[in-house]
Amino acid sequence: MTLTPDDVARLARLARIDLTVEELTKLAPQLDVIIASNRLVSEVATADVTPTSHPLPLTNVFRSDEVVASLPVADALAMAPAAEEDRFRVPRILEEEQ
């Protein structure tokens, strides 16, 4: 099946993409190549090949969750350039809406 510029225009409308006539004409054969490549990959995949998401086996390494004492507020605020009411004081960057 060969894609026509009309097919690409329909796909573009579904994706809410505005394309010029030149772009439609250029993209039609390019999308044909992509679809043909996808078909080729589908033909190669067989039932005895297990699907993988990565070529190498990966295992996530998580540290165990352990409750530990946190930094005291006074120590954290001692490192801050400015503090107010046990909080970091930072410059206002947004104006309040009225």
CA distances from 97 to 16, 27, 56, 94 (A): 34, 47, 52, 9
Q: Is a pLDDT exceeding 90 seen at residue 42?
A: no
Per-domain residue ranges for the chain? 5-44
Amino acid identity of residue 16, one-letter, is R
Is pTM, for the whole model, over 0.75? Answer: no
Q: Is the pLDDT of residue 98 over 60?
A: no
What percentage of the chain has pLDDT greater than the value 90? 54
Whether 16 shows a pLDDT value over 80: the answer reads yes
Q: pLDDT tens across 21-33, in order?
A: 999 999 999 999 9
